[in-house]
Structure 1
């Protein structure tokens, strides 16, 4: 059940197809919220940058694509994700206790089960809690108005990833018995700009949530702040597609109760290792075309991060070398805030 400005949302029957998403995109309160969010300066976090003091001195949780985490504001100060181009950052916060769940969703297929995973630690059995929701990410690869008018037909070279994902998220929220108060819908056209060549790009590709207040701000992170276990968690994104244990689910990453990262195991095949060897030989331009849903919108370190993953797979072809005995990789938070792997 969706609320906007405290009022139950009623879709506009004049729209066809994904009417709820389109109507919400044009709701005056959410248009105003998007304009306000757009005006917030983006924070860039790196441990080598003095501006990252807020992050490095606070207890934070970082999420990669297809991951989610639910955090307790008594244990975690900040939670964030970035590298979202056609993906969407979903923030759900329980108004009663501040418990906050964040997911980096990348496909309509994971929305239903993913939402259930997020709500599992946020909602009591009566489903009577009020939740604040922020949806930030995705961009207008193809005008949603044109999509409404023409359906799925059109230029075969254009593939729209963001719109179906956003539409599915709104559909799932609307069907739920939980009360979702949408605070921000900074997606699609609201989150779109153009470069000098006329290519559409997202304005913001990352977010940071202050758990005690629920404040959400635009943010990006670098290799030094995307931790722990960066390479393994990146590889799980690709490996999970062929691992039936994670079919249509978000990847489990963090244990809410103990404030530990518990990287649930994920297997990868020799085929993926061979594919890594093949991809590693491709030129940068071909890697962008082959490995990205939005090659013009990727961050400068996209190719570098892809090559690092392939190097790891080539050097560690058997997944049980990484997840010993098929057990998760566990990290605890040290006094100085750094993560230490439990042997």
Structure 2
């Protein structure tokens, strides 16, 4: 079970409290990390990763210099980087299938790394809080256990999760950090917010909302974001939610109603409307081909035809 902390192999982790108690430097790093200024990332340099997505790239990428993700409450954001090649992956995990997802992240980074290049795989975890249902705590443990089960040596560098990412606001527990970015050139991980969450934001959200599995969305050698093809059955009953109160949508469509960011309800309504507007999503993927996007010189993502 090759998960290491300060070059010491880690035994089974039974609780996050035990993890932090045995490794006080992780608490110090988490406090330092969450005290950093939140950066509003320029969309022109950004590759944004939504829930149940992951993307990997290298410093040789001419299109993207920051990869990032946001809107994590009970979800966790995972960053895995090879220190020798600089190949880096970010994923937004919600606990849907953690044990089968983590090997994909490792494979993505290894596939972009020269096997002869010296270096090691370093792991950074951010997300979750002290939610009543303990979803954050369970996800923290499941992610760590999944990395322990990999054949490769993984070195845990940052763990700002669950209780170390928790703050009381008017008696309500909330995450301190909702989003992170990674500078591809240096591997620096930092708290971040994003005004742009595309391309194809509604389509990608609809894929997750209707049960899509974890998906790799980026081809770094081509600088292309690839979405789908994906499908869902017609769901006319969803129209019910468009007329419901914000409180009801939060109560039934969120894992953490009191901790969601302000735009959660509008985001859910936009996603539901997209699903309703496209009862047959095959029409979104002519010829069964994925939607492809590449950055233009302006920094905007432009849809391109499949080659």
Q: Shared fold by TM > 0.5? A: yes
**1:322 corresponds to 2:296:** no
Relative distance call for 1:66 and 1:34 in structure 2 (3 A) is same
**1:93 corresponds to 2:88:** no
The residue that corresponds to 1:234 in the other structure is 205
The residue that corresponds to 1:260 in the other structure is 224
Q: Is the 8 A contact 1:21 1:170 kept in 2?
A: no
Indicate the larger mover: 187-196 or 121-130.
121-130
Matches within 5 A, 1:106-145: 106-107=94-95, 109-123=96-110, 130-142=120-132
Structure 1: how far apart are the matches of 2:137 and 2:16?
A: 9
Structure 1: how far apart are the matches of 2:93 and 2:179?
A: 12
**1:102 corresponds to 2:75:** no
C-alpha deviation, 1:20, in angstroms: 6.1
**1:216 corresponds to 2:217:** no
Q: Secondary structure at the residue paired with 2:110?
A: coil
Structure 1: how far apart are the matches of 2:220 and 2:164?
A: 32
The structure 2 residue matched to 1:61, chosen from 11, 23, 47, is 47
5+ residue gaps in structure 1? 12-17, 46-54, 143-158
Matches within 5 A, 1:153-168: 159-168=133-142
Q: Secondary structure at the residue paired with 2:124?
A: strand
Q: Is the 8 A contact 1:85 1:298 kept in 2?
A: yes
Structure 1: how far apart are the matches of 2:30 and 2:134?
A: 21
C-alpha deviation, 1:331, in angstroms: 0.5
Q: Secondary structure at the residue paired with 2:108?
A: coil
Matches within 5 A, 1:14-25: 18-19=13-14, 21-25=16-20
Structure 2: how far apart are the matches of 1:226 and 1:217?
A: 17
C-alpha deviation, 1:21, in angstroms: 4.0
Indicate the larger mover: 304-313 or 78-87.
304-313
Q: Is the 8 A contact 1:77 1:212 kept in 2?
A: yes
Cα RMSD (Å) of the superposition?
1.9
The residue that corresponds to 2:295 in the other structure is 333
C-alpha deviation, 1:267, in angstroms: 0.5
Deviations 1:217-258 (A, max 9, x none): 111112xx11111110110111235xxxx3xxx122111221
Matches within 5 A, 1:171-250: 171-196=145-170, 198-222=171-195, 225-241=196-212, 246=213, 250=214
C-alpha deviation, 1:325, in angstroms: 2.9
C-alpha deviation, 1:31, in angstroms: 1.0
The residue that corresponds to 1:49 in the other structure is none
Q: Secondary structure at the residue paired with 1:332?
A: strand
Q: Is the 8 A contact 2:49 2:68 kept in 1?
A: yes
Structure 1: how far apart are the matches of 2:301 and 2:190?
A: 24
Q: Could you state the TM-score of these two structures normalised by the residue count of structure 2?
A: 0.91
Runs of 4+ displaced beyond 6 Å: 124-128
**Between Structure 1 and Structure 2, how many residues are aligned?**
298
The structure 2 residue matched to 1:79, chosen from 60, 64, 67, is 67
